[in-house]
Each structure stands twice: as C-alpha cells, then as structure tokens.
C-alpha cells in the first residue's frame, strides 16, 4: 500500500550527483511527496518534501514533474556518508489519521570512492 | 529544539516474556506520536499512532499494544512476546500533519 515505486538499488561515484527517481502515478492533489533516508541500524532521517513546486534545502533538491506522477531526489555532490536506503513516500490523510506515512522498500544508494 | 529518545537501544527477550519499550519527546507539546516496526530487509510498518493522551489507534491486529500516559511519552507493550515480534522498533513524532521525525530505534530480538 506504499503508492510509490522506486528502483531497488543505485550506485553513484563520490562527488557526482545522485539522482533517485520515484513514481507516484496515483497521487492525489493534496498529497505531499516526502523523502527520508535510513543509514544502517539508525532511524529514518527526514530529507525534504514538496507538493507541486521544486524544493531545495541544505541536503538535497526535489524535482516534481508537472503532472505530479513522478519525482526525483537529487544529492548534488554525493559523499560516502550518503550511502543509505532512500524512501519516497506519499503522505496519506484519512479522516482522523493525521500525517500517516507508508514506507515501501526504498532504494539502496551506494556511493563508491 | 526537539529531540526524541527511545530505550532500550537493544533488547533480547525469550518467547513468552513481557515487553515494554519507551519513547519520549522533548521540546514540543501535544505531538502526534507513532510506533513503527521494521522487519529485516523490509520497509517500515506503522503499528500505532496517537494524537493525544490516552488516544491510541491501531493500524494492524497484533500481539502488541500501545499507551500514552503523558503528553510526550509513548509506550509499546506486549504481555507475551512471539518470535515474529523481532524487529527494529521506531518511534516518531510530528506536529499535526507536518513532517515526522524519528527516534534512534530499539532493536528487539525474541529467542
């Protein structure tokens, strides 16, 4: 019930940009796209989120297509510490269940030297 | 700033024993609180969430229960652990529908 599709794994060379894709073709108009990452044996770390417009913060950029059916998380200069599982999540609101997130399997990003 | 704590960090328990995992949040009031479980190699599964003291909603039927005795305290419990309860348990908080922030997690191994 994750509502998103991500490739299971990706590689990236250190210092290069990492572009992680996500498909969310059934997204509704008021649903946000969230990105988290999880480094092994740690809790998930919030990265960025967006609704329609592209977003950028100190960690990453989020590019959302005009039809909102897909998005790309960009890590502009990947480092070895960016090796993690990256989760793309569509936030679902149902009645009183505020802010619930559904996590899928994510993408294992491996940054190599 | 807000911080979220979980303890213990790791726990090994025999089958049939009770369980109590604790989560506390500092630096905010009236947060939404969540318990997730992550089995090995799997994504996160939402178990419980709470929008206020004494208000608990369960996502999936299971051997576990949750309680919220204080505004910033969330407890996950079991009367009798099963092997299938092994996993990585994560607590999270949010302000209403805003971003969820996760704690460091508790790794539970039931033998």
CB contact under 8 Å between A99 and B32, yes or no, is yes
Cβ neighbours of residue A100 closer than 8 Å, sequence gap 6 or more: A91, A92, A93, A94, B34, B46, B49
Q: Which residue has the tokens 């997130």?
A: A101
Structure tokens at B103: 């704690």
pLDDT at position B59, please?
82
pLDDT at position B30, please?
93
User: Looking at residues B37-56, what average pLDDT do you find?
Assistant: 87
pLDDT at position B24, please?
98
Q: Which residues of A touch B99 (CB under 8 A)?
A: 34, 46, 49
CB contact at 8 A, B67 and B4: no
Q: HEC string of chain A? A: CCCCECCCEEEEECCCCEEEEEECCCCCCCCCEEEEEECCCCCCEEEEEECCCCEECCCCEEEECCCCCEEEEEECCCCHHHCEEEEEEEEEEECCEEEEECCCCCEEEEEEC
Q: Which residues of A touch B102 (CB under 8 A)?
A: 36, 43-46
pLDDT at position A97, please?
47
Q: What is the largest CA-CA distance in chain A?
A: 47
User: Looking at residues A6-32, what average pLDDT do you find?
Assistant: 93
Distance from CA of B18 to the nearest CA of A (A): 24
Asked if A102 reaches chain B (Cβ–Cβ under 8 Å), the answer is: yes
Distance from CA of A105 to the nearest CA of B (A): 5
pLDDT at position A82 over 70: yes
Structure tokens at A18: 């990492």
User: Looking at residues A60-85, what average pLDDT do you find?
Assistant: 96
Convert the pLDDT of each residue in A88-109 to its tens digit.
998 865 444 455 677 788 999 9
User: Looking at residues A85-89, what average pLDDT do you find?
Assistant: 94
Q: Which residues of A touch B51 (CB under 8 A)?
A: 96, 98
By three-state DSSP, how is residue B84 classified? helix
Neighbours of B5 (CB within 10 A): 13
CB contact under 8 Å between A103 and B45, yes or no, is yes
Q: Which residue has the tokens 């909603």?
A: B57
Q: Which residues of B touch A43 (CB under 8 A)?
A: 90, 92, 102-105
- Whether the link from the prior residue into B8 is cis, omega within 30° of 0, is yes
> CA B68, B51, A47, A4 torsion: positive or negative?
positive
């Amino acid at each position: 019930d994750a509502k998103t599709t991500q490739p299971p794994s990706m590689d990236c060379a250190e210092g290069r940009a990492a572009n992680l894709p996500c498909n969310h073709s059934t997204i509704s108009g008021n649903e946000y796209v969230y990105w988290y990452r999880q480094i092994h044996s740690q809790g998930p770390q919030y990265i960025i989120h967006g609704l329609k417009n592209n977003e950028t913060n100190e960690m990453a950029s989020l590019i959302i297509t005009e039809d909102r059916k897909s998005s790309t998380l960009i890590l502009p200069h990947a480092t070895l510490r960016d090796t993690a599982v990256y989760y793309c999540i569509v936030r679902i609101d149902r009645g009183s269940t505020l802010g619930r997130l559904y996590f899928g399997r994510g993408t294992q990003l491996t940054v190599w030297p | 700033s807000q911080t979220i704590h979980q303890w213990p960090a790791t726990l090994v328990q025999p089958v049939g024993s009770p369980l109590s995992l604790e989560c506390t949040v500092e630096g905010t009031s009236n947060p939404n609180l969540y318990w997730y479980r992550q089995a090995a190699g799997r994504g996160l599964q939402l178990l419980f969430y709470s929008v206020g003291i004494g208000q608990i909603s369960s996502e999936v039927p299971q051997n576990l229960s949750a309680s919220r005795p204080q505004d910033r305290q969330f407890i996950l419990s079991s009367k009798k652990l099963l092997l299938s309860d092994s996993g990585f348990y994560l607590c999270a908080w949010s302000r209403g529908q805003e971003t969820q922030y996760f704690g460091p997690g508790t790794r539970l191994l039931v033998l």
